[in-house]
Amino acid sequence: MQSELDFTVPSLGERRIPSPIALSTTQGDRIANYVSDMEFIRYGNEAREGPQNPLERRDLLEKAGPRERIYFGPSHVHAGIVTCGGLCPGLNDVIRAITRCLWQRYGVRRITGIRYGYKGFLPEYDIPVRPLDPDQVDDIHKMGGTMLGSSRGGGERTTDIVDAIERLNMNMLFTIGGDGTQKGALAIAEEIERRNLKVAVVGVPKTIDNDLLFVDRSFGFETAVARAAEAVTGAHAEAHSSMNGIGLVKLMGRDSGFIAVHTVLAAHEANFVLIPEVPFDLEGPKGLLARLEERLERRKHAVVVVAEGAGQEHLATVAGTDASGNRKLGDIGVFLRDRIQEHFAARGKEINLKYIDPSYLIRSASASPTDSVYCERLGNNAAHAAMAGKTKCLIGMVNGEFVHIPIAVAVRSRRRVDPEGSLWRDAVDATQQPLSMRNEG
């Protein structure tokens, strides 16, 4: 699969300036080292015995980290930071880390927060920017959301945005956001090139759904799972305490079921998990409704976890896309709630369904300690990348190491739960639901 990929990271030019960060250039002196452009991480771990093809540059991800020589003179840097799209735990941690690394390690003194996503660049909104320094960001990681504000869309306004970048005299832009945001960042970087500007565009990919290709996990995901597991515990208490109690929890996951699957593994209390990757029937002897009925017969209560993108085939088509360019989804949670109630009402069976949609409470949480560590390291590496003149790239962790990933490669598609893999298998074990809830096949 990687054969079509090109992991080469674009660069603004030659690095002539010695880094102000004093690190070691000697191996073995027990002092932290610079990272060179010749250090790589191999993507892909599945392997077989026998002769191997020669590794090419395109198989290798460039290691992130501070370079011995950098592209920008710190006193000439004006860095911008923008957060886009929906909330995700850890946004403030990333802002904090970029700001602190630039300021304290490199001595950069002009760092500017763009307010409310890409819209903060657009003339018609006329939103003042917000200067950032270590004092401004010192405690922001304790709060959820983003201190800079966010919004959806706007990234398609490439010309206006680059006009604003020129007007602000920025030479570094950090884009923290999802797929749409990073596609926008790529277009911005291309417009920048067309104008022969030297502006580094470095992204920190944000997807609470954990569906980023290549990357081990996305920031905020673990916090989201911890919060979601609490909601499932609540749903279980509700279901367990009622006659024929059903707790139905809708979780995030437009295209992938990672949050739902990890949550049922963490909560130990769900009996069904429904994800976009695994289609299911509602009706028929093997369908969800029959399975649910069996469960109620046997145990008098049930907990169902459904990812928002699951079962879209059962919903009337909803046309169009939202401001972030995401396909609009029908509301599977409300649909299932109604459908389950109809089903049992038609059978004269009294049930007690509690429907819980904790999405806002999950995404607005502040980062868990593990996520906080991860965000800090992502932000540091983003700062290092931009100072070194890397551009059109994202920072990610691959096989435990931080790397640069070209935006062009990263946004090509999304990661999904493999319905034939071990994660889904363990989720099925945890819920004890049938391997398949389809009547055929």
Find the shortest distance in angstroms from Cβ 424 to a copy of itself: 6
Residues 74/388, Cβ–Cβ less than 8 Å: no
Decide if residue 3 touches a copy of itself (CB under 8 A). Answer: no
Q: The tokens of 209 are what?
A: 């759904």
Decide if residue 333 touches a copy of itself (CB under 8 A). Answer: no
Query: Is 138 annotated in the active site?
Result: no
DSSP calls for 135-202: HHHTTGGGSSS-TT---S--TT-HHHHHHHHHHHT--EEEEEE-HHHHHHHHHHHHHHHHTT---EEE
**CB nearer to a copy of itself: pick between 256 and 380:** 380
Find the shortest distance in angstroms from Cβ 165 to a copy of itself: 21
Q: Which of 420, 438, 379 is nearest to 104 (CA)?
A: 379
Please list every residue from 29 through 88 that binds a copy of itself, using CB under 8 A: 29-33, 35, 38-42, 45-57, 59-60, 64-66, 87
Q: Which of 293, 384, 377, 438 is nearest to 35 (CA)?
A: 384
**CB nearer to a copy of itself: pick between 87 and 199:** 87
**CB nearer to a copy of itself: pick between 44 and 284:** 44
Degrees (nearest 5) of the Cα angle 358, 364, 366? 125
Decide if residue 426 touches a copy of itself (CB under 8 A). Answer: yes
Find the shortest distance in angstroms from Cβ 421 to a copy of itself: 7
Find the shortest distance in angstroms from Cβ 163 to a copy of itself: 21
Please list every residue from 129 through 188 that binds a copy of itself, using CB under 8 A: 139, 141-146, 149-151
Find the shortest distance in angstroms from Cβ 88 to a copy of itself: 10
Please list every residue from 336 through 375 that binds a copy of itself, using CB under 8 A: 354, 356, 358, 360-361, 364-366, 368-370, 372-373
Residues 199/170, Cβ–Cβ less than 8 Å: yes
Decide if residue 268 touches a copy of itself (CB under 8 A). Answer: yes
Please list every residue from 210 through 249 that binds a copy of itself, using CB under 8 A: 216, 222, 225-226, 229-231, 233-238, 240-243
**CB nearer to a copy of itself: pick between 199 and 336:** 336
User: Applying CB under 8 A, what is the total number of residues that bind a copy of itself?
Assistant: 115
Q: Which of 332, 356, 96, 397 is nearest to 227 (CA)?
A: 356
Degrees (nearest 5) of the Cα angle 103, 104, 109? 25
Decide if residue 436 touches a copy of itself (CB under 8 A). Answer: yes
Q: Which of 368, 366, 413, 385 is nearest to 396 (CA)?
A: 385
**Distance, CA of 258 to CA of 213 (rounded, Å):** 13
**φ, ψ at 259 (rounded to 5°):** -60, -45
Active site residues: 209
